[in-house]
């Protein structure tokens, strides 16, 4: 299975985090949605995100050192659709400018909301409006579900 995914992330306290060589970025306490691509398969990409000690490859790795994944929304696709998803979410949420989009022209691939339930429901609605059939994976089931892919 391959396609795009949205990590649902909770940051327990506000922080300024250095992302690679960039200056520190301020992150308010709250809920985040990170849009990523798994064209090589969900299993390997999500295993990377859930693995506790890892080499940092992407912007999201720096945030996940301080935050936790509370769920994942999968959108199976044969083509790259993460930018279409990010564009749709940019109309719904505040964004962290330049985050996770160094290889595309998007404004951001990381979005913020104070309400976790509103975040998830708006993402699901946005994916449905794009003609996708999203599937929610709870973080508590991550290891069992990832092994099955």
Cα–Cα distances (Å) from 119 to 18, 56, 65, 106, in that order, read 25, 26, 21, 20
Two structure tokens written together for 112: 């913020």
Share of the chain above pLDDT 90, in %: 62
Can you give the pLDDT at residue 19?
Answer: 86
Residue 131 makes CB contacts below 8 A (sequence gap 6+) with: none
Q: Confidence class of residue 53 from pLDDT cuts 50, 70 and 90? A: low
Tell me: the pLDDT tens digits for 99-136? 888 888 999 999 999 999 999 999 999 999 999 999 99
Q: Confidence class of residue 148 from pLDDT cuts 50, 70 and 90? A: low
- In a 3-state reduction of DSSP, which class is residue 135? strand
Query: What is the pTM for the complete model shown?
Result: 0.89
């Amino acid at each position: 299975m391959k396609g795009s995914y949205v990590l649902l992330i909770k940051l327990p306290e506000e922080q300024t985090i250095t992302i690679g060589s960039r200056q520190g970025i301020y992150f308010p306490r709250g809920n985040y949605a990170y849009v990523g691509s798994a064209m090589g398969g969900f299993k390997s990409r999500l295993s990377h995100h859930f693995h506790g000690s890892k080499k940092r490859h992407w912007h999201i790795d720096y945030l996940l050192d301080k935050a936790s994944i509370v769920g994942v929304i999968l959108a199976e696709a044969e083509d790259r659709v993460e930018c279409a998803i990010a564009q749709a979410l940019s109309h719904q949420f505040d964004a962290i400018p330049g985050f996770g989009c160094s290889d595309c022209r998007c404004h951001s691939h990381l979005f913020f909301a104070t309400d976790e339930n509103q975040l998830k429901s708006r993402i699901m609605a946005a994916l449905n409006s794009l003609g996708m059939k999203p599937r929610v994976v709870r973080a508590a089931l991550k290891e069992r579900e990832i092994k099955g892919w």
